[in-house]
Chain A
Amino acid sequence: MIKFLVKGLLRDKSRSQMPIIVVAIGVMLTVFIHAYINGFMGDTIELNARFSHGHLKVMTKGYADNMSQTPNDLALLDSDSLLSSLQREYPTVAWVTRIQFGGLVDAPDSTGETRAQGPAMGMGIDFLSPASSEVERLNIPKSLVRGRLIQNAGEALISNLFAEKLGVLPGDVVTLIGSTMNGSMSMYNFTIVGTIAFGAEALDRGALIVDIEDARYALDMQNAAGEVLGFLEGGFYSDDDAIAIAQRFNALHADSSSEYAPVMKSLSQQGNMGSYVSLLNTWTGIISSIFVLAMALVLWNAGLLGSLRRYGEFGVRLAMGEEKGHVYRTLIYESVVIGVIGTAIGTAIGLFFALLLQVYGIDISGMMEGAAMMMPTVIKARITPADYYLGLIPGLVSTVVGSMLAGVGIYRRQTAKLFKELEA
């Protein structure tokens, strides 16, 4: 009997091939869209984490209270020992010191007179330590448009847009005019060795990247750092993990009475990033749920229709003496087989396309011109464990439920009416 039913299933393409294709397409779209939404939302968070917020950030209390102004007069002192202590206490987190600073970049002409000036968003990162992974974290080699990376003290990278605005080329010397952490005026010369484009409009407008030791010299911040950033193992932000680490640190070190006491904040606890993370999570959930639900309805309906058109066949089988329960069970088994095969194929294809998007991405930089928010200009998918089983909801559950509902008619209708439907 099983052989008979399998033969029927394989030969009747409208019962096997078509439903499998429909289920596979539905599941493929579900998996792909879910990975795409996760990737886009996650990339936005990761971009912010890598460039400014970290998954965790240690600052002084005063700095944290005025973080939007990057007040280096409230920077962490003795940052090297703080860094060592963090590396010891939280070895699974990658810790780095950074100095963010603002200033005016002055490009002189051949006589030393100002030729062009512009406001810069400076960032001092650990560029020259052999063990540093900051260059890779910020994807600087791939962001290099012209010139080379920083190899010596006194060198700087400048954003390509900013360089064009100032008329600066690699090899030119510019002067950073800013203020030291003690409040006095600072002027420091950097040799531009390369221009970069990060692909985030907000960064590309005025970025100046220097080695952190140069930043310390320029801003008189010896053994100090504006912030210490932590990046969770695996490279992906987990709000629960980050908050747990921050709570543990703050319980030991926070002192509300001192402006200079260190505080640790998770990415979601910094500025408006909390509401952003929660908004992204909510929308990821909502969009994914709507899509999964929509696909579930489509495939449920497909299962329903696929079974309804077989009422005549069921009628004949019942007339031959097959029991209603047996007809119903075989209908469900068939839909399970269709659902499993369709889900497996759809998931594989969906993951393949998601992987392509994860690796290569889609360039939307043309749509991001003038964006004030730090958002990726290359949309990438992100495959998560959920993508491996998410397709089961529309692919298997909905298909089977559709067949189950359609199959109820086998019980509710008179057998005579069932096979009459074949003749209609």
Chain B
Amino acid sequence: MNLIDVKNLTKRFPMGKGEFTALKNINITIGKGEFVGLIGPSGSGKTTLLNILGSLDVPSDGEAIVLGNSIGALSAKQSAMLRKESLGFIFQSYNLLQVHTVYENVEFPLLLLKLPAAERKMMVMEALAWVGLTDKAKSKPPQLSGGECQRVAIARAMVKRPSLVLADEPTANLDAANSHNILKTMEALNRDLNTTFVFATHDEKVIGYLRRKIFLLDGRIDKDEVVEHS
């Protein structure tokens, strides 16, 4: 079953008096449990596509169906519901809430789901265990290293066990050791929980972990290749 089904997707942005076409007639399908990357240089449209898949933006033409929902047809409330229940996000600059503790940051998606406190606690501690940060639960983001912050962001994205995690340049602010650490964590979560990961990246370290690589160039799919890891 396809988790994501993108058909003839085009995205245009207004630019001055004219328009800029960021995505041109994109067609892709992504199945459950995939570990896939949208790869391309800056301006290739990978983040735009990721935003549409995350229902943070809508297509200008064509269709993007995510978990059975046509993104362009969703109301704001339905989009929020989709993100709240089924999607996880990992951002380049972590985007943690700076005044809240690690525990509270990871707990936030569960608060939106209105889960009971005991259940939330269990799920947060489990998510922190996945990323090896149980001892940092009471720390605040400014007290953590970049690698630790990104692991908190992964825990936050994974805590509600979403079907799909969208990661936009997740290693861009990390050194090589931390990048590999993060990627191994995500790879393990993908394997153990069968969560689908979609990356937008041009980082060679990330690309090395991907099992499917979709290359974008000037808003078009240039190449789509499946990698067989030994």
On A, residues with C-beta under 8 Å from B are: 1, 4, 7-8, 11-12, 312-313, 315-324, 414-416, 419, 422-423
The minimal Cβ–Cβ distance linking A410 to chain B, given in whole angstroms, is 10
Of A8, A313, A320, A414, which is within 8 A of B112 by CB?
A320
- Interface membership of chain B positions 90-102, coded 1 if the CB is closer than 8 angstroms to chain A and 0 otherwise: 0111010111100
Complex interface: chain A residues within 8 A of B92 (CB): 423
| 28 CB-based A-B contacts, threshold 8 Å | A1-B111, A1-B112, A4-B108, A7-B99, A7-B100, A8-B99, A313-B97, A315-B95, A316-B91, A316-B95, A318-B56, A320-B109, A321-B80, A321-B81, A321-B83, A321-B109, A321-B112, A322-B80, A322-B112, A324-B76, A414-B57, A415-B56, A415-B79, A416-B51, A416-B56, A419-B56, A422-B95, A423-B95
Contact B85 A321 (CB under 8 A): yes
Of B54, B81, B85, B104, which is within 8 A of A7 by CB?
B104
Query: Does B229 belong to the interface (CB within 8 Å)?
Result: no
**Distance of A122 Cα from B85 Cα, bound (Å):** 90
Contact A316 B56 (CB under 8 A): no
Among residues of A, the one whose C-beta sits closest to the C-beta of B85 is A321
Contact B83 A419 (CB under 8 A): no
A-B contacts counted at CB < 8 A amount to 73
On B, residues with C-beta under 8 Å from A are: 51, 54, 56-57, 76-77, 79-85, 87, 89, 91-93, 95, 97-100, 104, 107-109, 111-112, 156
The minimal Cβ–Cβ distance linking A407 to chain B, given in whole angstroms, is 15
Given contacts A320-B84, A322-B84, contact A12 B91 (CB under 8 A): no
Complex interface: chain A residues within 8 A of B81 (CB): 321
Contact A323 B99 (CB under 8 A): no
Closest 6 CB pairs of A and B: A321-B84, A11-B99, A321-B83, A416-B56, A416-B51, A12-B99
Contact B108 A320 (CB under 8 A): yes
**Distance of A7 Cα from B101 Cα, bound (Å):** 10
Contact B95 A312 (CB under 8 A): yes
Of A4, A323, A324, A419, which is within 8 A of B95 by CB?
A419
Given A316-B97, A321-B84, 19 extra CB contacts under 8 A: A1-B112, A4-B111, A7-B104, A8-B99, A313-B97, A319-B83, A319-B89, A319-B95, A320-B112, A321-B81, A321-B82, A321-B85, A323-B76, A324-B80, A415-B57, A416-B51, A419-B56, A422-B95, A423-B95
Complex interface: chain A residues within 8 A of B156 (CB): 320
The minimal Cβ–Cβ distance linking B129 to chain A, given in whole angstroms, is 21
**Distance of A380 Cα from B156 Cα, bound (Å):** 60
Among residues of A, the one whose C-beta sits closest to the C-beta of B98 is A12
Complex interface: chain A residues within 8 A of B112 (CB): 1, 320-322
Complex interface: chain A residues within 8 A of B83 (CB): 318-321
The minimal Cβ–Cβ distance linking A112 to chain B, given in whole angstroms, is 90
Contact B77 A4 (CB under 8 A): no
The minimal Cβ–Cβ distance linking B145 to chain A, given in whole angstroms, is 19
**Distance of A380 Cα from B77 Cα, bound (Å):** 58
**Distance of A167 Cα from B93 Cα, bound (Å):** 87
Given contacts A1-B111, A319-B56, A419-B91, contact A8 B97 (CB under 8 A): yes
Contact B80 A323 (CB under 8 A): yes
Complex interface: chain A residues within 8 A of B97 (CB): 8, 313, 316
**Distance of A161 Cα from B176 Cα, bound (Å):** 90
**Distance of A111 Cα from B168 Cα, bound (Å):** 110
Complex interface: chain B residues within 8 A of A316 (CB): 91, 95, 97
